[in-house]
Amino acid sequence: MDLLANLAMGFSVASSIANLGFCLIGVILGTLIGVLPGIGATATIAMLLPITFQLEPVSSLIMLAGIYYGAQYGGSTTAILINMPGESSSAVTAIDGYQMARKGRAGTALATAALGSFFAGSVATFLVALFAPPLTAVALQFGAAEYFSLMVLGLVMSVALAHGSVIKALAMVVLGLLLGIVGTDIYTGTPRFTMGITQFADGLNFVAVAIGVFGFAEILRNLEDEHEREVMTRNINRLFPSRAEFREMVGPILRGTGIGSVLGILPGGGAILASFASYTMEKKLSKTPEEFGRGALAGVAGPESANNAGAQTSFIPLLTLGIPANPVMALMIGAMIIQGIVPGPSVVTDQPQLFWGIIASMWIGNLMLVVLNLPLIGLWVKLLTVPYYVLFPIIMAMSGIGVYSVNGNPYDLFAVAFFGLLGYVMSKLRFEPAPLLLGFVLGPLLEENLRRAMILSRGDPTTFLTRPISAGLLVVSLIVMVLVFLPQIRKRREEVFTESDA
């Protein structure tokens, strides 16, 4: 079977000593930043991106992927122990996980989260291996018009899944697109929006934009109100779940994996939605719904499986289409471009080693996380006692080095300060940064495909509607937009986000 042969090749790539090492570094770093509040996966990956340029493309992507799903794991540890989700996708876990911890079942909750995540991660990795190649075959048929429509759908989804006002999220997408255009026009060589600064002729450095908007803005938010974090380092009971608890968690884990796998593929941050959807579903199916919110095992098992499955399947649009499903995937695209790989359907045929190596490494990374994390939980808990005022200067130093080492260009450091201020002002005005970053990455691609499609159709804009795949994608985008503005859905959406904020 082709799939097995490909997976075998992937495993041989991923299990080389060097790649195992990078995978390990990735998952440990990921867990670390997932545990530490105040620094997210997006900012960390942006910071470490330049350092990975020295590595082989496979190794660098394996490590970055490890950071990403390691952060999901670490995020649930803090959610359970201190009711503070390290990552937004583990916000739902905090609801019941923290309650379990208060009842002295912290060990069980942590083990459930780890086992659920591992199972979901394994299944989702297999799904990526199964579905990526056929999707790639479809994607190879895509012309400029289809790509344009697909990106429109991706941006619309990111708006639909953003917190808060839809109009403001739309504005962020448009602003991101405009910022993405800064630099030299590829067709005519005309500099655009560079303010006459030649250092910006190649466009704004996306590492600077990501660190500024996500990292610095987050640090400033944390400095608004410096209060002591209360760490619950209560004794953790036995880790291994009993047979009855096993039986209790099987259903939620299976359902969570299913929901997560499907929603993860959606562009715009499916993992957060997946964990919430899974929680709602478990609550509905449960014989004892009153247990939810008071330490229900299913309330940890389901959402944790769902967010991990979603994190894995969000690689599908990246690997097959070169379209990012969330800000982290947008950074991965940047990493691929800098490594000289054109993200898109051709990766699977041109670079099979890279493609299958990454997929295999995801499974290995998930295994490492289970093996490592359960015994190391004590260490992670200790890390939580490191005060924030010690952490953020370190983060600042790392950001500075990271941004500078991309091109050795001091202007990138001025840009990072500017985007830090912009990010902070945006958060004060309740704008979401994720749609901006997606718009920023997709801006040049969107424009290029628009222009190419118009040339191919001899200036006839109906080309987007007469080509069936393109028309289908645009119709879906339209439906999503209409749905988001429908009053009942709007109300429901607000509830979803307030509850996941809690």
The footprint of another protein (CB under 8 A) covers 51, 54, 165, 167-168, 170-171, 174-175, 177-178, 181, 185, 187-188, 190, 192-193, 216, 219-221, 223-226, 387-390, 392-394, 396-401, 403-405, 408, 410-414, 416-417, 420-421, 424-425, 428-431, 447, 450-451, 454-455, 458-459, 461
Q: Cβ 226 to another protein, closest distance in Å?
A: 6
Of 421 and 471, the one with the shorter C-beta distance to another protein is 421
Q: Cβ 110 to another protein, closest distance in Å?
A: 30
Q: How far apart are CA 90 and CA 495, in angstroms?
A: 17
CA atoms within 13 A on the CB side of 415: 23
User: For helices 433-456 and 166-181, what crossing angle results, to 10°?
Assistant: 60
Q: Cβ 316 to another protein, closest distance in Å?
A: 28
Q: CB 479: neighbour CB atoms within 10 A?
A: 11
The DSSP code for 215 is I
Torsion of CA 445, 356, 45, 369, to 10 degrees: 150
* Nearest one of 328, 348, 371 to 118, comparing CA atoms: 371
Of 289 and 393, the one with the shorter C-beta distance to another protein is 393
Q: Cβ 400 to another protein, closest distance in Å?
A: 4
Q: How far apart are CA 384 and CA 83, in angstroms?
A: 12
Rg (CA), the chain: 22
Q: How far apart are CA 382 and CA 405, in angstroms?
A: 32
Of 421 and 496, the one with the shorter C-beta distance to another protein is 421
Q: Cβ 389 to another protein, closest distance in Å?
A: 4
Q: Cβ 132 to another protein, closest distance in Å?
A: 31
Residue 70 near residue 31, CB atoms below 8 Å: yes
Of 219 and 253, the one with the shorter C-beta distance to another protein is 219
Q: Cβ 446 to another protein, closest distance in Å?
A: 8
Sign of the torsion formed by the C-alpha atoms of 74, 77, 78 and 83: positive
Q: Hey, is 354 helix, strand or coil?
A: helix
Of 166 and 254, the one with the shorter C-beta distance to another protein is 166
Residue 181 near residue 447, CB atoms below 8 Å: yes
Assigned token pair, 195: 């303010």
Q: Cβ 276 to another protein, closest distance in Å?
A: 22
Of 374 and 396, the one with the shorter C-beta distance to another protein is 396
* Nearest one of 107, 128, 38, 28 to 73, comparing CA atoms: 28
Of 56 and 447, the one with the shorter C-beta distance to another protein is 447
Of 253 and 406, the one with the shorter C-beta distance to another protein is 406
Assigned token pair, 86: 């390290």
Residue 191 host element (H or E): strand 191-192
Q: CB 423: neighbour CB atoms within 10 A?
A: 26
* Nearest one of 319, 338, 311 to 60, comparing CA atoms: 338
Of 2 and 230, the one with the shorter C-beta distance to another protein is 230
Q: Cβ 443 to another protein, closest distance in Å?
A: 9
